[in-house]
Amino acid sequence: MQTGLFERLIISLGSIPAETNDKLSLDGDLRRPSVIDAAVVRSRTGLSQAAFARCVGVAIGTIRNWEQGRRTPQGPARALLARLDRIPRLVEQTLKT
């Protein structure tokens, strides 16, 4: 992964409000999604597990664990997947080299 990709990712996520408890701090009262289906999010990007893992900066095993339900994305990974679920082209715009 190139230097600066993580920084670009963080900047691109700037429009996602910070989480407080089970709600997002925003003008409205929005709840965060209870379930993020990593396999669906990845398929919308059109990337293989390996390519998706490289783009988001995690091990391929992490992607497999998310997709097989052994683990769930937390923290920044959860925010990133929620954003990619809404805007799959974000991978190409921000992360893909």
What CATH number is attached to the domain comprising 63?
1.10.260.40
CA 71 vs CA 13, 74, 78: distances in Å: 22, 9, 12
In tens digits, the chain (97 residues) has pLDDT values of: 455 666 676 666 665 554 444 444 444 444 555 678 999 999 988 899 999 999 888 999 999 999 999 999 998 899 889 888 888 888 777 766 5
Domain boundaries, position 60:
5-95
Say how many domains are in the chain: 1
Return the number of other C-beta atoms located less than 10 Å from residue 52's C-beta: 23
Structure-block tokens of residue 5: 């990709």
pTM attached to this predicted model: 0.63
